[in-house]
């Protein structure tokens, strides 16, 4: 059985790149035994397999224990002042929940105090010196940290570019939200659960126990709070910054946003009392967001599948990404240009009626080009059948170490990538 089969953590993202869900299917086929993929928000790939008759769908008609599904409401925060990222209506709802003896959770999938430190005089942000990314403010430790390469440095008293002391912490993370809620509800026990607050051995179990017992009345956290936990007293969930998923650069952004929102929402109302979910948004009229709230995940998934078919994106097609990293951007791109030429030469020797067609896109810089002091580029292969990708990659791999520029670059191949970053 593969629980939460849609979860991206099943995909190994480095070295030997595999998807544990797909390996479970292969293992079950070899052992001639059934495999159960469980999820309240199945991946679009699994739903496509159901539609094609490759999977048998076994729907669960009710929640565990017979509890009713929580009501999800959109909070329009356009032109409304926020108190450290929290709307007055959300704060009022938390206060009302606490007065009724309930427990409240505020979810924001971002660690730290603020994602950006910016100078109000010169406009320059504090950037990582090794990545194309802003440093995250961690106010409790007075540090700037890069959440991509792990580098850190002290929180500067003045702008590192112009020397101005007019620095502004822009945006919100769990640390900032927790501080705001402690200020709003100073006498209410709280638990903050994220990777930073639970680093010490046993701290995660301790905080989860406080949450499950009801000792902690307000919970603040990232997706660590969302996965499979049972908090009987939890009746209110507030979701912040879900709008990021509406306009993500990855074509799977909307799917992932919906899965995460419903996974978080599922923590509310799991016992006797019904739950409510308040989702703050600056896009209350977004058609797909409203479809999710009004008609549920399956309706949204069907709409997304239709969009994928129109755009010939997975699961309506299959992708492979060839990535290269090097000490310079030109070295990474030059190597992938040689890989592209080799792929085109391989195509000349194939029979399109038997081996199909494969679209080769790039090379192009990765969305985050510089990571950990190395420059990254990628080449995208797209085909209607996975076998057509395999045929070309099998012919390509033996020559990749001998192509021009191979000695200056490290390369990898990812078939069926879950992330194009």
Domain that holds residue 47: 8-61
Q: How far apart are CA 137 and CA 141, in angstroms?
A: 9
Residue 228: closest CA among 27, 15, 39, 11: 39
Q: How far apart are CA 281 and CA 228, in angstroms?
A: 25
HSE value, Cβ hemisphere, 13 Å, CA-based, for 197: 27
**Which of the residues in the chain have pLDDT under 70?**
63-67, 271
pLDDT (tens digit, 9 = 90+) per residue, 352-366? 878 888 999 999 999
Verify that 268 and 202 share a domain, yes or no.
yes
| 181 found inside a domain | no
At residue 356, the pLDDT reads 86
Cα torsion 189, 195, 201, 204: sign? positive
At residue 274, the pLDDT reads 79
pLDDT (tens digit, 9 = 90+) per residue, 366-385? 999 999 999 999 999 999 99
At residue 419, the pLDDT reads 86
| 178 found inside a domain | no
Verify that 255 and 148 share a domain, yes or no.
no
HSE value, Cβ hemisphere, 13 Å, CA-based, for 64: 10
Verify that 337 and 293 share a domain, yes or no.
no
Verify that 304 and 345 share a domain, yes or no.
no
Verify that 338 and 389 share a domain, yes or no.
yes
CATH code for position 340: 3.30.70.600
At residue 66, the pLDDT reads 63
Verify that 30 and 122 share a domain, yes or no.
no
Q: Is the peptide bond before 363 cis (omega within 30 degrees of 0)?
A: yes
**CA separation (Å) from 5 to 36, 38, 344?**
9, 6, 36
Backbone angles phi, psi at 266, to 5 degrees: -65, -10
At residue 142, the pLDDT reads 95
């Amino acid at each position: 059985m593969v629980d939460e089969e849609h979860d991206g953590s099943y995909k190994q993202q480095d070295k030997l790149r595999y998807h544990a869900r797909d390996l479970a299917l292969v293992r079950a086929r070899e052992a001639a035994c059934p495999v159960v993929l469980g999820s309240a928000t199945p991946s679009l790939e699994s739903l496509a397999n159901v539609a094609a008759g490759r999977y048998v769908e076994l729907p669960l008609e009710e929640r565990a224990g017979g509890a009713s599904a929580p009501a999800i409401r959109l909070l329009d925060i356009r032109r409304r002042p926020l108190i450290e990222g929290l709307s007055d209506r959300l704060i009022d709802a938390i206060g009302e929940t606490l007065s009724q003896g309930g427990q409240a959770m505020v979810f924001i999938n971002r660690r730290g105090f603020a994602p950006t430190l910016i100078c109000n005089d010169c406009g320059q942000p504090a950037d990582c010196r090794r990545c194309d990314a802003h440093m995250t403010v961690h106010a409790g430790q007075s540090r700037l940290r890069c959440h991509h390469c792990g580098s850190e440095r002290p929180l500067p008293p003045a702008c590192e570019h112009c020397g101005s002391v007019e620095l502004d912490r822009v945006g919100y993370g769990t640390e900032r939200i927790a501080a705001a809620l402690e200020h709003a509800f100073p006498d209410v026990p709280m638990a903050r659960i994220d990777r930073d607050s639970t680093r010490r051995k046993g701290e995660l179990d301790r905080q989860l126990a406080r949450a499950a017992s009801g000792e902690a009345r307000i919970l603040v956290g990232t997706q660590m709070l969302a996965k499979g936990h049972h908090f009987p007293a939890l009746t209110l969930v507030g979701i912040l910054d879900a709008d990021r998923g509406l306009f993500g650069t990855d074509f799977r952004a909307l799917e992932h946003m919906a899965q995460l929102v419903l996974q978080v929402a599922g923590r509310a109302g799991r016992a006797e009392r019904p739950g409510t979910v308040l989702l703050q948004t600056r896009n209350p009229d977004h058609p797909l967001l409203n479809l999710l709230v009004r008609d549920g995940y399956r309706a949204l998934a069907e709409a997304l599948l239709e969009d994928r078919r129109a755009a010939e994106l997975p699961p309506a097609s299959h992708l492979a990404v060839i990535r290269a990293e090097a000490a310079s951007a030109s070295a990474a791109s030059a190597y992938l240009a040689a890989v592209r030429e080799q792929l085109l030469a391989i195509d000349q020797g194939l029979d399109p009626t038997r081996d199909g067609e494969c679209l080769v896109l790039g090379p192009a810089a990765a969305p985050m080009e510089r990571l950990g002091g190395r420059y990254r580029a990628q080449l995208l292969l797209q085909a209607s059948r996975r076998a057509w990708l395999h045929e070309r990659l099998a012919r390509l791999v033996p020559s990749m170490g001998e192509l021009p520029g191979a000695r200056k670059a490290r390369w990898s191949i990812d078939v069926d990538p879950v992330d194009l970053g």
